[in-house]
A = this chain, B = another copy of it.
Amino acid sequence: MAKHETPFLDQLESGPWPSFVSDLKQQAEVRAKNEKGVEFQIPQDCVDDLLGIVELSYKHGRTHWKHGGIVGVFGYGGGVIGRYCDQPQAFPGVEHFHTMRVNQPAGKYYTTDYLRKLTDLWDFRGSGVTNMHGATGDIILLGTTTPQLEEVFWTLTHDYNQDLGGSGSNLRTPADCLGQSRCEYACYDTNALVHFLTNEYQDELHRPAFPYKFKFKLDGCPNCCVASIARSDMSFIGTWKDDIRIDQDAVNKYVENDAAYPANAGAHKGGDWGPFDIEKEVIALCPTGCMKFENKKLAIDNANCTRCMHCINVMPKALKIGKETGCSILCGAKAPILDGAQMGSLLVPFIEVNPDNDYEAITEVIENIWDWWMEEGKNRERLGELIMRQGFQKLLEVTGIEAMPQHVQYPRTNPYIFWKEDEVTGGWERDVEEYRKHHQR
């Protein structure tokens, strides 16, 4: 028997898509029954009250949560988000209902053994409600009280070998696509690099020293499944410098509509698109027009290829990424607030991804950027906004990177070049008397 009536939420139990309401109801019931005999450290009926307060929001069309004060674990500036409800008498189970961010593993692979440990802990010390996963990538443990924070942290670190993720003006928990673990398109080992960077920069992740948040996201290839180009201050996107590898026999299997060679790896099986047509579907859609299929032979003018992945995506059995792989680094992506959205702007067209020297080429770029941003960035100014304010030329300067046409989509359309005095022959100081000898007043 439910603690609160939830007529609005009940309507979200129907329909085919997994219902979060049904899940919360089952959780409330499991807690009520407590067949495992858990010694709940926060109110047993907290999920009932969660349903109740959300129902109230459905009635009012307004949230009933207040922002928390500063809660957290000792010595860390992030990883915990305080939260309180604005109707504690009616819903005492969620009066205090803080979030903990747990740093997810690279690639988001898990063993059931690990997950069960986590659910045991969260049943015991929290609401048993989670997000798998939060928008940044963390495992989100949703709903506990202040005294439990250090206890959860202790168990995570001592028993689970597991740390919290980032929040606040910190490095946020880096995130990656699954990369080479299960994807033939990946140009570098995203799991290894994300794990390295997360560990290398633990201090930046846990202790606020930045003007604002900072995100790394790592995509193995330009398909950008993890959206790094839109969602991270520094985006690492796999690419290659040499030629796309072609298996001409396999190309012809695609052209012949061999059933074992479905176009786009079978992604269009539900549509009625007719037989595969290499001219229309590959050659004509190549953004640079650098491909030809003549006499049963596919030719790619690789010097004019921009590695957009389309042909490889369409014919994955026939075309493979090059062998000289690495990544591009793009900087400054962010959501619209405060000063308009940005996508990452290309800073390093190609950089090696080399675990053997601890990725030193990459960490040098990162640290140069951080030095600049920590020196010049205003409070709550994202990297992208600093780049906009001080200019992309400045970003090149602080990272010691030569300007090249790859940095721009097109050169400047205005002629407002601000020269530096030392770039101009003779400098700026001049003698007006000398000038007046030739130019009367």
Of the candidates B62, B341, B439, the one whose C-beta lies within 8 Å of that of A439 is: B62
Q: Is the CB of B340 within 8 A of A414?
A: yes
Please, which residue of chain B has its CB at the minimum distance from the CB of A65?
A: B439
Chain B min CB distance to A204 (Å) = 29
Q: Is the CB of B86 within 8 A of A440?
A: yes
Report the interface size for chain A: residues with CB under 8 A from the other chain.
17
A88 interfacial by beta-carbon distance below 8 Å = yes
Chain B residues lying within 8 Å of A438, measured Cβ to Cβ, are 60, 62, 64, 86-87
Q: Is the CB of A88 within 8 A of B414?
A: no
A336 interfacial by beta-carbon distance below 8 Å = yes
Chain B residues lying within 8 Å of A416, measured Cβ to Cβ, are 336
A409 interfacial by beta-carbon distance below 8 Å = no
Chain B residues lying within 8 Å of A64, measured Cβ to Cβ, are 438-439
Chain B residues lying within 8 Å of A415, measured Cβ to Cβ, are 336
What CA separation (Å) do A340 and B439 show in the bound complex? 32
What CA separation (Å) do A375 and B75 show in the bound complex? 59
A413 interfacial by beta-carbon distance below 8 Å = yes
Q: Is the CB of B440 within 8 A of A341?
A: no
Chain B residues lying within 8 Å of A87, measured Cβ to Cβ, are 438-440
Binary B-proximity of A38-69 (CB < 8 A = 1, otherwise 0): 00000000000000000000001010100000
Stoichiometry (number of copies): 2
Chain B residues lying within 8 Å of A340, measured Cβ to Cβ, are 414
Binary B-proximity of A74-105 (CB < 8 A = 1, otherwise 0): 00000000000011100000000000000000
Chain B residues lying within 8 Å of A440, measured Cβ to Cβ, are 86-88
Residues 413-441 (chain A) with a chain B CB within 8 angstroms: 413-416, 438-441
What CA separation (Å) do A60 and B336 show in the bound complex? 52
Q: Is the CB of A341 within 8 A of B60?
A: no
What CA separation (Å) do A86 and B435 show in the bound complex? 11
Chain B min CB distance to A382 (Å) = 15
Chain B min CB distance to A83 (Å) = 14
Chain B min CB distance to A94 (Å) = 13
Please, which residue of chain B has its CB at the minimum distance from the CB of A436?
A: B86
Q: Is the CB of A414 within 8 A of B336?
A: yes
Of the candidates B86, B414, B441, the one whose C-beta lies within 8 Å of that of A341 is: B414
Which residues of A are in contact with B by a Cβ distance under 8 Å?
A: 60, 62, 64, 86-88, 336, 340-341, 413-416, 438-441
8 chain-A/chain-B pairs, Cβ below 8 angstroms: A64-B438, A87-B438, A87-B440, A88-B440, A336-B414, A336-B415, A341-B413, A341-B414
8 residue pairs, one from A and one from B, having the closest CB atoms = A86-B439, A336-B414, A86-B440, A340-B414, A60-B438, A341-B414, A336-B415, A87-B440
